Amino acid sequence: MLKGDQWNIIAKRLSNEKLSVEEKAEFEKMIADENVQRIIGQSEKTFEKTGLFLGLDQYNTNSAWEKVDRAMSRRKTMSFRPLLRIAAVFFLLVAGGFAVWKMAVQNKPVPVIAAHYLEGNTQQLLPDGSTVTLNHGSEVKFPKKFTGTTREVTLVGEAFFNIKPDTEKPFIIKTNGASVKVLGTSFNVCAYNESETVEVIVKTGKVELFNTGAGKAEEKVVLMPGQTGTLNMYTRELLRTDNYNPNKLAWYTREISFNYTPLGEVFETLQHAYNIRVDIDNQVDTSQKLTASFSKQDPEYIMDVIALTLDIKVDQTENNGFFVQNN
Amino acid sequence: MDNEKKLFQQIKEGNKQSFEKLFRFYYAPLCHFSRKYIADPDECEEIVQGFFLKIWEKRSDLDITVSVKNYLFSSVRNRCLNYIKHQKIRQGYKTDVLSKNNSQLNPDNYILEVDLHNKIREGIDSLPPRRREIFILSREEGLKYREIAEKLGISIKTVETQMGQALKDLRKKLSTYKHLLITFFLNIPGMPCRGNVTVKCQKSTKPKGKN
């Protein structure tokens, strides 16, 4: 029905090419006919659908699926991997008595129950009546029953332990390259796999932090209340300092205070405390100081307060994140 | 896709086959959609793959109140916008993509009915080689007639003729298909740039290195 030239004009028109004066006149003549209108409509749809087909055809779904499939099975064994970037805190809150006890270097496999928690603040009861509260991305492994002369668990990540006293059976927490030993106490252990340091903060009581890295099994520091012990995972250096930063325990206590703290550090603290992601536009001055304290507030509230106080703009993003920029 | 809610329920329960089905159906459309925001196709694929992995990891926590389709497309859009934000931070330049593209979401513009998909493949494959080449340069790469003529060392007139013929051939091939018969959009005068045509306009800002 349509002549070759007429098809050319329709194709040109649908390709957003400029029509000449004659072509334009011809096109207007054509569309007066209802049948041609229908054909042009179908042509537009044809172009649209073939364009979409060609667009979709660039993507190789098969190879993409293979890639995703592999990643799925990889992540099964390392399910907390994305959350591991937080600095490690070995926070020990010791309430009970403590006896000096020599570490037995033993690695005999015990049947374990693995408690994995990806989200923060979940409490788990241990077989001896002790409890453990896990921070996000953390995992603790323990046997169905504590047999033998010790109570041994392994930890990746950060956790708060509340240990039932038992002088006959010391409680040992093994982590990657460090051990913590107590007889009965409550304390918080944080030892993320990929972090540079293991830190122990003691509130009350007495705790020992052992360097169990290769060849240095006997090295330890004894920590008293208010002290921080640090084990550097690379240099294997054990350090003791006489103070601690309460904000590092905020994930558990939900108590945060800033005292003339640079904004950059404020966001770092909040990221750790709430397992949130804070992205900062590079226009924002992160050296400006904030003084404020928060008790049991949710991160949205805190970010709102910061935004108002410092006159910056905070937007919530997907997955509990925040984006900070100047107003 | 039919029964998406049911499929999603199966995914929540850890059914990998259902997950694969969802992936295979939506992967290319979501990649294609994200090109609206991000010029680099490899980045788009990374984003969409990362998103599907996240779905699988978080499957038990997922609760979808809208349709599965809208959930997928709006999540990918958010991921693209986040990506752009991070680029902005890294490179320190301002871009207005964020405000410009946040308007409306129309997933159906990116999903091609399965049977139509096969029909179009047949149609394009049956075009004579030169015609097919010209047609693909125009429709996929978004090149102007002049650019095609220069690239292939032919006259613009030839491009016009081949495009006209390609349109005629393909429309004939597809005209029996219900989707073309039932609906047609005729926005005369001044047929606006919309649907895949919009995507085409986007692409032309960054021609790909094919051919």
Report H helices in A176-256: 250-253
**Quick one: pLDDT at residue A120?**
57
pLDDT digits (tens, 9 = 90+) for A116-165: 554 556 777 888 888 888 777 777 888 878 888 888 888 877 777 777 77
Q: From B82, which residue of chain A is nearest by alpha-carbon distance?
A: A317
Is residue A204 within 8 A of residue A173, CB to CB? The reply is no
Peptide bond into B189 cis (omega under 30): yes
Q: Of A294, A224, A232, which is closest to residue A266 (Cα–Cα)?
A: A294
**Quick one: pLDDT at residue B145?**
94
**Quick one: pLDDT at residue A190?**
58
Backbone phi, psi, residue B96, to 5°:
-100, 10
A248 or A14, higher pLDDT: A14
- Determine whether the interchain pair B145/A17 forms a contact, defined as Cβ–Cβ distance below 8 Å: yes
**Quick one: pLDDT at residue A89?**
37
Is residue A277 over pLDDT 80? yes
Asked if the C-beta of B31 comes within 8 angstroms of chain A's C-beta atoms, the answer is: yes
230-259 of A, contacting B, C-beta below 8 A: none
Helix axes B129-139, A34-57, angle to 10 degrees: 80
Asked if the C-beta of B136 comes within 8 angstroms of chain A's C-beta atoms, the answer is: yes
- B193 vs A contacts (CB less than 8 Å): 16
- Determine whether the interchain pair A48/B171 forms a contact, defined as Cβ–Cβ distance below 8 Å: no
Over residues A263-287, the mean pLDDT reads 88
- Determine whether the interchain pair B31/A318 forms a contact, defined as Cβ–Cβ distance below 8 Å: no
Asked if the C-beta of A279 comes within 8 angstroms of chain B's C-beta atoms, the answer is: yes
B207 or A208, higher pLDDT: A208
B8 confidence band (pLDDT: 50, 70, 90): confident
Asked if the C-beta of B143 comes within 8 angstroms of chain A's C-beta atoms, the answer is: no
Its sign, for the CA torsion A161, A163, A167, A173, is: negative
Please tell me the distance from the alpha carbon of residue A171 to that of residue A142, in angstroms, as a whole number.
11
**Quick one: pLDDT at residue A202?**
72
Over residues B109-127, the mean pLDDT reads 86
pLDDT digits (tens, 9 = 90+) for A226-237: 778 888 777 777
Is residue B188 over pLDDT 70? no
Over residues A87-102, the mean pLDDT reads 31
Is residue A251 within 8 A of residue A201, CB to CB? The reply is no
Q: Which of B20, B79, B186 sits opposite A65 (nearest CB)?
A: B20
How far from chain centre, in Å, is Cα A315? 19
Is residue B178 over pLDDT 90? no
Q: Can you read off the two tokens belonging to residue A262?
A: 């640079």
- B181 vs A contacts (CB less than 8 Å): 42
Burial code (b: 16+ CB inside 10 Å, e: under 16) for A114-134 equals ebebbebebeeebeeebebbb
Asked if the C-beta of A291 comes within 8 angstroms of chain B's C-beta atoms, the answer is: no
**Quick one: pLDDT at residue B94?**
47
A308's CB contacts (< 8 A; 6+ apart) are none
Is residue B160 over pLDDT 90? yes
- The strand pairing partners of A211, in sequence order, are A178
Please tell me the distance from the alpha carbon of residue A163 to that of residue A129, in angstroms, as a whole number.
8
Q: Which of B52, B116, B139 sits opposite A51 (nearest CB)?
A: B139
Residue in the structure block whose two tokens are 């930063």: A245
User: Which H or E run includes A186?
Assistant: strand A186-191
Asked if the C-beta of A320 comes within 8 angstroms of chain B's C-beta atoms, the answer is: no
Look up residue A241 and give its DSSP letter: E
- Determine whether the interchain pair B79/A64 forms a contact, defined as Cβ–Cβ distance below 8 Å: no
Instruction: Give the total residue count for chain A.
Output: 327
Please tell me the distance from the alpha carbon of residue B46 to that of residue B31, in angstroms, as a whole number.
9
**Quick one: pLDDT at residue B52?**
93
Say how many CA atoms lie within 13 Å of B100 toward its Cβ: 8
Residue B200: exposure state from Cβ atoms within 10 A (0-12, 13-18, ≥19): buried
Please tell me the distance from the alpha carbon of residue B205 to that of residue B211, in angstroms, as a whole number.
17
Judged by average pLDDT, the poorest of A30-44, A58-72, A167-181, A301-315 is: A167-181
Over residues A199-212, the mean pLDDT reads 74
Give ∠ CA A50-A51-A55 in degrees, rounded to 5. Answer: 115
Q: Can you read off the two tokens belonging to residue B28?
A: 């290319």
- A63 vs B contacts (CB less than 8 Å): none
Q: Mean of the per-residue pLDDT values for chain B? A: 77
**Residue B24 C-alpha, separation from nearest chain A C-alpha, in angstroms:** 6
The domains of chain B, with CATH numbers, are 4-105 (1.10.1740.10), 114-203 (1.10.10.10)
**Quick one: pLDDT at residue B184?**
44
Look up residue A87 and give its DSSP letter: P
A194 confidence band (pLDDT: 50, 70, 90): low
**Residue B186 C-alpha, separation from nearest chain A C-alpha, in angstroms:** 5
Please tell me the distance from the alpha carbon of residue A248 to that of residue A273, in angstroms, as a whole number.
7
Judged by average pLDDT, the poorest of A197-201, A213-217, A233-237, B66-70 is: A213-217
* Number of neighbouring beta carbons within 10 Å of residue B70: 13
Between chain A and chain B, the number of residue pairs with CB atoms below 8 A apart is 183
- Determine whether the interchain pair A53/B184 forms a contact, defined as Cβ–Cβ distance below 8 Å: no
Asked if the C-beta of B75 comes within 8 angstroms of chain A's C-beta atoms, the answer is: yes
Asked if the C-beta of B193 comes within 8 angstroms of chain A's C-beta atoms, the answer is: yes
Is residue B100 over pLDDT 50? no
**Quick one: pLDDT at residue B179?**
57
**Quick one: pLDDT at residue A105?**
31
Q: Can you read off the two tokens belonging to residue A38?
A: 């229908």
**Quick one: pLDDT at residue B27?**
95
In angstroms, the Cα distances linking A262 to A15, A266, A275, A287, B109 are: 56, 6, 20, 5, 47
Q: From B109, which residue of chain A is nearest by alpha-carbon distance?
A: A52
Measured between its terminal Cα atoms, the distance across chain A in Å is: 62
Is residue B172 over pLDDT 80? yes
Is residue B36 within 8 A of residue B26, CB to CB? The reply is no
Judged by average pLDDT, the poorest of A76-90, A222-236, A299-313 is: A76-90
**Quick one: pLDDT at residue A191?**
63
